[in-house]
Structure 1
Amino acid sequence: MSAREEILARVRAGVGKPDAAGRRALAETWMRARSPGPQPVLAGDLLARFCEKAVSLASSVERLADYEQVPAHVAAWLAAQELPLSAVTTLDVAGLDWAAAGLACRSGPAVDADATGISGCFCAVAETGTLMLLSGTATPASVSLLPETHIALVPASRIVGTMEEAFALLRSERGQLPRAVNFISGPSRTGDIEQTIVLGAHGPCRVHLIVIGETA
């Protein structure tokens, strides 16, 4: 038994709850037995609604036919914003031909010097214009949270209606939660000072979404 396991075992024994696995199984059984509450009826095209909601949250949105068009678009967009033609990417999008578009990209966790982070996303929620990102070895959360500019690649086929549908998709495809699930609804903002909205207070001040393809 490792020191960590020994300490946790003593804590469980001290609070009278040593059967962590049993309690987890009971909780999961209870959750599976629960029926969902009332759900909104989303009329119309989920892709169009997602784009509309994202724009209303101060994200910019571009639609492309396929992933091959992404590097050239990113290079042109960064140049139009007068931003450096360099970025840090998550591993799931590192295979795109960034160099051919004149971009200097590396993959891995972001550092303070990174001005732009480029990531994929697990799925997106049409109801609120929100991205759902999962942390992991190939998808470090710092790429979408640390740089001032976040560019996210959103497959149109991964746009779901509601937050409940997003969690259902996560359970069906992954089986369990990752270390962190991050929901991103536009740039970071705060109104703490004189109720004046300031973007980028606790994260990126720009969020650019590239929606790729069509819905299934």
Structure 2
Amino acid sequence: MTPEDAAVAPRLVLATRNAHKVAELRAILTGPDGALPWLDPAAVVGADAFPEVPDTVEDGVTFAENALLKARALAAATGLVAIADDSGLAVDVLGGAPGIFSARWSGRHGDDRANLELLLAQLGDVRDEHRAAGFVCAAALVTPAGEEVVREGHLRGTLLRTPRGDGGFGYDPILLPEGETRSTAELPAEEKNAISHRGEAFRALAPEIARVLSA
């Protein structure tokens, strides 16, 4: 953050300490083609801006519940409008797993490589025609006054057998979106954001964000 950025008062706090996700959400919301291009990117901060606020235990049983838990806690602690998402990969042949456990599928939270390698090993004998899967995102907005809104987004595709691409994070290198020849990790950020589950969810949430910030 530049000194000029630091002078901008935060207006919206993102319930994540993941730098990749903060950058992606800023682009989705405030970039040139973003849902809220009038909003100063410097006014959108991640949870790292409030190191004294503890992380929320994500013990919900749905993406929406976990997103709301995180947004509620941050809105209450900071007095700012908070938005959060919970997202993951749902594999058809696994009945929707890893689902809400996507970030800790290997037993170590946030270990993208271990999670991806374990999933590929579990699906090693699954034929290509049965490797359908999709990313799911629930995006939640919570105001300090207690107003709550949730919107969802989806990105369907097929799971590759080996990772491809260096972009993105999480399971991006193994999902081939429908109609694409490139993995999610091979797409430029602008193209990915235009079709992603997270982009769809936050674009749907954007009118509500605009409304509460303008109130």
**TM exceeding 0.5:** no
TM class, shorter-chain normalised?
A: under 0.3
With CA pairs under 8 Å and 6+ residues apart, which has the higher RCO, 1 or 2? Answer: 1
Say which one has the larger Rg: 1
TM-score by length of 1: 0.24
TM-score by length of 2: 0.24
